[in-house]
């Protein structure tokens, strides 16, 4: 099982963040995800990390498919992959109308189709087998004459990519996008993943998509995890309570009533009444009450917080649920130390059991 971590410092100093990544690399982290919302762009930090690290894989977690053209995404990914000597992963997602329409001024339309076509175009760009053409529902390359000057012509990426197949991960939640992820992506970036309910909530869609998956693709890498803290005598309840504002914000405030993917996900897990209460309180401006309404069961199921033995049990639960890359959100002031502790637990689980001498 690989270990990854999302850099959650949207407003932090990118140079300090890069220093943390050096520590995480030394602690045994396999992969780091660079997020992008409406602050600094992700690709600048990706390039910097490529220059100052040696082993760790670097991915975007995520960049949206509305603010850049598919070919620009392909160009940036090829550049990052060359700088890192094959350590880059392109994580894609749709974001949401708040960011896409509010910050970028682009209509939030056909998000799933847009991601699918972006993946197709990126892979065509990297292969360089022929000049790029694409006739899709969202993108047409070159632009048809009746929509432009008629002067556009098929072009091919000038540079030869370091790899002609850069991994693409898709951050998806809903059934149709989950099916498409399992069919065409190299990996799936999940969110609010509960090992105990994952088979029911995600299993059918992932199975349907996997049935259509090309044999040319490796098995889907499932990236899931949550907040983690390892130690004896931890203030577990206090640490769980720290997650309440984030959970309430997503379930209650990420979208209007009837248009919140995370609220829908909570309902699919069986928290219908709780999800409605959280959303009603949050949208009414009662954020503290919404946070208090987050059930403790939700917090326990989506975290790995406790003594080493307990955390090892949670890691095993994620593995049994099909997770192949455990995504960590260290709680506390020593993320590298937390990563090192989890690395030891995972390595112990992966080590073959040695036979006990019989004494003869």
pLDDT, position 356: 47
The one-digit pLDDT tens for each residue of the chain (360 residues) are 999 999 976 678 999 999 999 999 999 999 999 999 999 999 999 999 999 999 999 999 999 999 999 999 999 999 999 999 999 999 999 998 889 999 999 999 999 999 999 999 999 999 999 999 999 999 999 999 888 898 999 999 999 999 999 999 999 999 999 999 999 999 999 999 999 999 999 999 999 999 999 999 999 999 999 999 999 999 999 999 999 999 999 999 988 888 898 999 999 999 999 999 999 999 999 999 999 999 999 999 999 999 999 999 999 999 999 999 999 999 999 999 999 999 999 999 877 654 544 543
The whole model's pTM is what?
0.94
**For residues 212-243, b (16+ Cβ closer than 10 Å) or e, as one string?**
eeeeeeeebbbbbbbbbbbeeebebeebbebb
Q: Considering only CA atoms, which of 52, 47, 44, 43 is closest in space to residue 20?
A: 52
| DSSP string across 204-269 | HHHHHHHHT--TTSPPPEEEEEEEEEE-TT--HHHHHHTTHHHHHIIIIISSSTT--HHHHHHHHT
The H or E element that residue 299 is part of is helix 296-301
Cβ neighbours of residue 67 closer than 8 Å, sequence gap 6 or more: 100, 104, 106
Q: What is the pLDDT of residues 243-280, one digit of tens each?
A: 999 999 999 998 888 889 899 999 999 999 999 999 99
Label each residue of 142-200 as H, E or C.
Answer: CCCHHHCCCCCCCCCCCCCCCCCCCCEEEECCCHHHHHHHHHHCCEEECCCCCCCCHHH
Neighbours of 92 (CB within 10 A): 26
First to last CA, the chain: 37
Q: Considering only CA atoms, which of 350, 336, 305, 348 is closest in space to residue 32?
A: 336
Task: Look up residue 13 and give its DSSP letter.
Answer: -
Neighbours of 339 (CB within 10 A): 25
Token pair for 49: 């990390």
- The Cα–Cα gap between 242 and 249 comes to 13
> Would you say how long the chain is, in residues?
360
Q: What is the pLDDT of residues 179-233, one digit of tens each?
A: 999 999 999 999 999 999 999 999 999 999 999 999 999 999 999 999 999 999 9
pLDDT, position 352: 66
What ranges do the domains of the chain cover? 1-171
Cβ neighbours of residue 242 closer than 8 Å, sequence gap 6 or more: 227, 331
Tell me the three state secondary structure of residue 272.
Answer: helix
Beta strand 187-189 pairing with 221-230: parallel
Beta bridge partners of 2: 325
Beta bridge partners of 327: 4, 225
Helices and strands in the chain, H and E counts: 16, 12
Beta strand 325-330 pairing with 2-6: parallel
pLDDT, position 145: 87
pLDDT, position 9: 62
- The Cα–Cα gap between 47 and 45 comes to 5
Q: Considering only CA atoms, which of 223, 140, 141 is closest in space to residue 181?
A: 223
Topology at the third CATH level for domain 1-171: TIM Barrel (3.20.20)
Task: Look up residue 202 and give its DSSP letter.
Answer: T
Token pair for 33: 């995800």
pLDDT, position 344: 97
């Amino acid at each position: 099982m690989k270990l990854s971590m999302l850099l959650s410092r949207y407003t932090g100093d990118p140079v300090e963040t890069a220093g943390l990544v050096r520590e995480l690399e030394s602690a045994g982290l396999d992969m780091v995800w660079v997020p992008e919302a409406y602050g600094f762009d992700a690709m600048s930090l990706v390039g910097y990390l490529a220059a100052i690290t040696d082993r760790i894989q670097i991915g975007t977690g995520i960049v949206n498919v509305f603010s850049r053209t598919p070919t620009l995404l392909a160009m940036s990914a090829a550049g990052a992959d060359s700088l890192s000597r094959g350590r880059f992963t392109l994580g894609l997602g749709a974001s949401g109308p708040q960011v896409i329409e509010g910050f970028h001024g682009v209509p939030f339309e056909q998000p799933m189709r847009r991601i699918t076509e972006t993946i197709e175009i990126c892979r065509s760009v990297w292969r360089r087998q022929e000049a790029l053409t694409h006739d899709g529902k969202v993108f047409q390359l070159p632009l048809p004459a009746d929509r432009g000057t008629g002067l556009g012509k098929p072009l091919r990426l000038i540079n030869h990519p370091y790899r002609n197949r850069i991994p693409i991960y898709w951050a998806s939640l809903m059934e149709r996008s989950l099916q498409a992820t399992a069919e065409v992506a190299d990996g799936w970036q999940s969110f609010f993943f509960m090992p105990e309910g994952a088979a029911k909530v995600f299993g059918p869609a992932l199975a349907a998509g996997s049935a259509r998956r090309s044999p040319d693709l490796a098995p889907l890498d499932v990236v899931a995890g949550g907040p983690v803290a390892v130690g004896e005598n931890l203030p577990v309840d206090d640490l769980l309570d720290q997650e309440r504002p984030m959970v309430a914000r997503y379930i209650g405030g990420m979208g209007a009533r009837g248009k919140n993917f995370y609220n829908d996900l909570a309902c699919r897990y069986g928290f219908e009444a709780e999800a409605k209460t959280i959303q009603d309180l949050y949208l009414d401006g009662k954020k503290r009450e919404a946070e208090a309404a987050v059930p403790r069961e939700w917090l326990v199921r989506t975290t790995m917080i406790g003594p080493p033995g307990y955390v090892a049990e949670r890691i095993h639960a994620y593995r049994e649920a099909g997770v192949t890359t455990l995504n960590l959100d260290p709680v506390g002031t020593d993320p590298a130390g937390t990563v090192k502790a989890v690395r030891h637990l995972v390595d112990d689980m992966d080590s073959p059991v040695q036979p006990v001498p019989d004494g003869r």
